[in-house]
Structure formats: C-alpha cells, structure tokens
C-alpha cells in the first residue's frame, strides 16, 4: 500500500530523521538545482527501475517530486517490485518551497 502524506506529516517525518527511512527525490537534475530536501537520495524517475536492485525492499521509502505525481508513479513502480513501505509526498517540493523548509543545493 502506498501511503499519501501532505506537507505537515511529511515535515514531521523529516524532523524525526528516522535512520530506517530513505528519502528519494525522483525529479530531474535541473529541478534538483532549485533545491532539494537535505539528505535525500536523488534518482530520476526514468532511472529508478534500474536502481531498485541496490535498494532494500523492507525499508520505508519516502518519495518526493515537484507536485506528487511522479513520486506516486515511483511508489507504484516500487510496489510492483515488492517494496511494501512506501510514502508519497502529496504536494511535493512546490509545497516544501512555499513553506520555506530547509533546502540544500544539488
């Protein structure tokens, strides 16, 4: 099941810095240049499937994109490959930027 979370629960999750969660930003490099959430792994959606063998299926993954659409596609792809703990950031980086939450340059 893919869990959908909006800005407030996502930011609370981010602040917890759970070592058992991996955050993946599936945007394009030119979008990463605008700023990324500190500590996220950057994997373009187009490259995600070939990256899956390097990921652990029983880890929780928080998927991020610009608005929540591509990250939802990424979560669906991961679900097909037996990843079970998936969180889609509904609202994505557009809401993160608007809230002026922490950023780092890619």
Give the distance between the most distant pair of CA atoms in the chain: 35
Active site residue 47: no
Three-state SS string over 21-85 comes to: EEEEECCCHHHHCCCECCCCEECCHHHHHHHHHHCCCCCEEEEECCCCHHHHHHHHHHHHCCCCE
Residue labelled with tokens 């930011």: 11
User: Annotated catalytic residue: which of 24, 26, 65, 75?
Assistant: 65
Active-site amino acid positions: 65
């Amino acid at each position: 099941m893919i869990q959908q979370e909006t800005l407030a629960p996502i930011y609370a999750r981010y602040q917890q810095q759970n070592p058992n969660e991996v955050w993946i930003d599936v945007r394009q490099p030119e979008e990463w240049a605008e700023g990324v959430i500190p500590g996220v792994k950057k994997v373009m959606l187009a490259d995600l499937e070939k990256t899956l063998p390097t990921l652990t299926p029983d880890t929780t993954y928080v998927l991020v994109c610009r608005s929540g659409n591509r990250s939802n596609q990424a979560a669906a792809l991961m679900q097909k490959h037996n990843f079970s703990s998936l969180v889609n950031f509904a609202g994505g980086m557009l809401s993160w930027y608007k809230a002026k939450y922490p950023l780092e340059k890619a």
